[in-house]
Structure formats: structure tokens, C-alpha cells
């Protein structure tokens, strides 16, 4: 994959080297990656708690889609863990770290030695500069189209097929892109929390929110795992009511920032579908009117 000329290769954080550190608790493998700035999660918390500008989000999504097209079509890799903390702002020139290096030399950050072999250093905040988007953290990635099994994704970001305990593949990354990259970066309020009105986190509350936003699941989807279906729906596909379906959690009700949101919501609906087979691919989404300027 390192020899690929695919343009999305540049949006995947590169592993440069590795080495082993010997310590009192055994050997530790240390991975050396290309330098990067802060994650999009930290950028939003520190600088844009109300959400990023629409143009910034569009550009970031395009770069992530290039990375996913590269991973899915060339590398046959499912990332499984896409969220703002794993999306880093890269650097065009390493020289932007020069001022950071000089400040550390003249005014070192506070540190605390907690043991003879361990010192904790305070992080130094660096205001973000322009750079490419980098997809990082492949610790939960799977190789091959699958279908794969097992729990993946943070709880509130899980795709429907993972909640129904059926096999999953590349479409889980598309679900994550729509939910965590498009919606979460643009909107101040999450589309899904997987919690009920009392704040309790459980699958029925999550599925109820999916129904509120996407409508009821098709029987074809529920038929993928009849045993799991029976936990939440009857034989006719009627919701058993283990958690109330919230009335005010539609996409239209929660989208509150855009003056004209039809193009954005159409894009989101191409990524968030009950049936994974119906989700657009990364390559298809690169030509979506909301991203290309053909639709508002």
C-alpha cells in the first residue's frame, strides 16, 4: 500500500518506523508516525464548540472520503473506528513545529517526576495551522471485505448492523463518516446518544433514536437475525417499546445551523441507512452535489 499512487494515500497517517524500549515491566513497542497537529475533536472543543463552518466540514469530508476509497478499494481494509478523535490535522511543512521547539528550549513545559523511570509532561497548546486531514488509529481495523463479526465502534456511533449482530463490512465506515464527520463536526447536538430521557445507555434507546431519525427498519433488515429482532420488534416489525421513540429527534428537528440544509440532509441520508447495502460508497459520495457545489 505504501507504493500506491491513489490520492487517498496521503490522507492516511503513515507509520515511519518502530523500535523497542526495554523497561522494568518488559518490552514496549514504540511506533513512530508522521507528525500531526491536534485532532478534530480537540479543535472543536477548544476553538469551535458550536460547530465548524460548512465549507471546512465539506473539505474535511472530501479528504476522509479519499482515504476511505483508498482503504476500501485498494487496501481492502475496514477501519471500524472513525470519529473526530481519530481524525488529525496534518502538516504541509514540518517547519511549523520550529516555534514549538524553540519555546520548549527557552521555556520548558512543567513536568512531574512520579518515579525514577517516569516523568509526566504538560502538553503545550499549539494553535492549528492549515494542513491535510489524516485518518489515524488502525488498532481496531479489519482486513478483507468480510463479513466480519464482533463489537466495534463507540456505543453511540454503532451502525444498525452491529446492533443487530449481523456481519458487517465497509459500509460501517460510511455510517461513521456521516454520523461523526459530517453531523458531529457541523452540528452542536449529536444525532444519536444511545441514551433514554433518564440518561441510561442501552441498545433499545439507541434503536429508538434510529427509528425517530430514519423511520422504521425494513423487514428485510430485521430478517437478517430473527433471534435478535425478537428482542425489540414483534413478528410484524412493530416496535415492542423497550424504550420510547423520541418525538423531537428527527434530522430536520436537530439540524439548527444551516440556512439551507436540504443538500446536507440528502448527503446524510445517503450515509445513514438501515440496510448497509443501500449506503453509498466512498467513491460515490465524492461526487455528491453537497460536496461538489451542485447542491446546497
**Most trustworthy range by pLDDT among 19-28, 234-243, 287-296:** 234-243
SS3 of residue 29 by DSSP: strand
Look at residue 273 and tell me if it is in a domain.
Answer: yes
The CATH number for 185's domain is: 1.10.510.10
Within a domain: 100 = no
Q: What's the confidence (pLDDT) of residue 277?
A: 96
Q: Considering the domain boundaries, does residue 281 fall inside one?
A: yes
Mean pLDDT of the chain: 91
Active site annotation includes 81: yes
Burial of residue 49 (CB within 10 Å: 0-12, 13-18, 19+) is exposed
Within a domain: residue 221? no
Structural domain contains residue 48 = yes
CA–CA distance from 41 to each of 52, 87, 184, 230, 255 (Å)?
11, 8, 9, 37, 19
Residue 277 counted as domain residue: yes
Residue 238 gets the label, from left (phi > 0), alpha (psi -120 to 50) or beta, of: beta
What pLDDT was estimated at residue 24? 79
More confident call, 214 vs 129: 214
Catalytic residue from among 81, 173, 184, 196: 81
Q: Is residue 43 part of a domain?
A: yes
- pLDDT for residue 21 is more than 70: yes
**Residue 56 covered by a domain:** yes
> Residue 193's Cα: distance from chain center in Å?
14
Residues 57, 257: Cα–Cα separation, whole Å: 13
Q: Which domain holds residue 84?
A: 38-91+133-191+249-292
Express each pLDDT in 260-278 by its tens digit: 888 999 999 999 999 999 9
User: Could you tell me the maximum CA-CA distance found in the chain, to the nearest angstrom?
Assistant: 70
Residue 209 and residue 193: Cα distance in Å, rounded?
8
- 134 - beta bridge partners? 88
- pTM surpassing 0.75? yes
> Cβ(270)–Cβ(252) under 8 Å?
no
CA distance 251 to 270: 13
Overall number of domains in the chain: 1
Residues whose CB falls within 8 Å of the CB of residue 135, separated by 6 or more in sequence, listed in order = 11, 12, 13, 64, 67, 68, 71, 79, 82, 86, 87, 88
Confidence (pLDDT) at 296: 54
Amino acid at each position: 500500500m505504501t507504493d500506491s499512487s491513489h490520492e487517498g494515500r496521503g490522507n492516511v497517517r503513515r507509520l515511519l518506523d518502530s523500535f523497542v524500549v526495554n523497561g522494568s515491566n518488559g518490552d514496549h513497542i514504540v511506533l513512530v508516525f508522521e507528525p500531526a497537529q491536534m485532532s478534530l475533536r480537540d479543535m472543536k472543543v477548544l476553538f469551535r464548540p458550536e460547530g465548524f463552518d460548512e465549507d471546512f466540514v465539506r473539505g474535511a469530508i472530501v479528504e476522509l472520503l479519499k482515504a476511505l476509497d483508498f482503504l476500501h478499494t485498494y487496501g481492502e481494509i475496514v477501519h471500524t473506528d472513525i470519529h473526530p478523535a481519530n481524525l488529525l490535522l496534518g502538516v504541509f511543512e514540518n517547519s511549523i513545529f520550529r516555534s514549538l521547539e524553540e519555546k520548549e528550549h527557552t521555556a520548558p513545559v512543567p513536568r512531574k517526576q512520579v518515579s525514577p523511570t517516569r516523568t509526566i509532561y504538560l502538553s503545550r497548546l499549539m494553535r492549528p495551522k492549515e494542513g491535510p486531514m489524516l485518518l489515524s488509529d488502525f488498532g481496531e481495523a479489519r482486513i478483507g471485505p468480510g463479513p466480519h463479526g464482533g463489537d466495534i465502534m463507540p456505543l453511540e456511533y454503532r451502525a444498525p448492523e452491529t446492533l443487530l449482530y449481523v456481519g458487517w463490512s465497509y459500509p460501517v465506515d460510511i455510517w461513521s463518516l456521516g454520523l461523526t464527520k459530517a453531523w458531529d463536526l457541523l452540528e452542536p447536538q449529536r444525532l444519536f446518544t444511545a441514551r433514554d430521557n433518564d440518561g441510561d445507555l442501552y441498545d433499545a434507546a439507541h434503536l429508538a433514536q434510529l427509528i425517530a431519525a430514519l423511520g422504521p427498519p425494513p423487514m428485510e433488515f430485521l430478517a437478517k437475525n430473527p433471534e435478535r429482532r425478537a428482542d425489540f420488534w414483534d413478528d410484524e416489525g412493530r416496535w415492542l417499546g423497550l424504550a420510547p421513540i423520541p418525538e423531537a429527534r428527527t434530522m430536520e428537528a436537530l439540524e439548527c445551523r444551516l440556512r439551507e440544509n436540504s443538500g446536507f440532509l440528502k448527503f446524510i441520508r445517503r450515509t445513514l441507512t438501515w440496510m448497509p447495502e443501500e449506503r453509498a460508497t466512498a467513491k460515490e459520495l465524492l461526487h455528491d452535489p453537497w460536496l461538489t457545489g451542485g447542491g446546497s
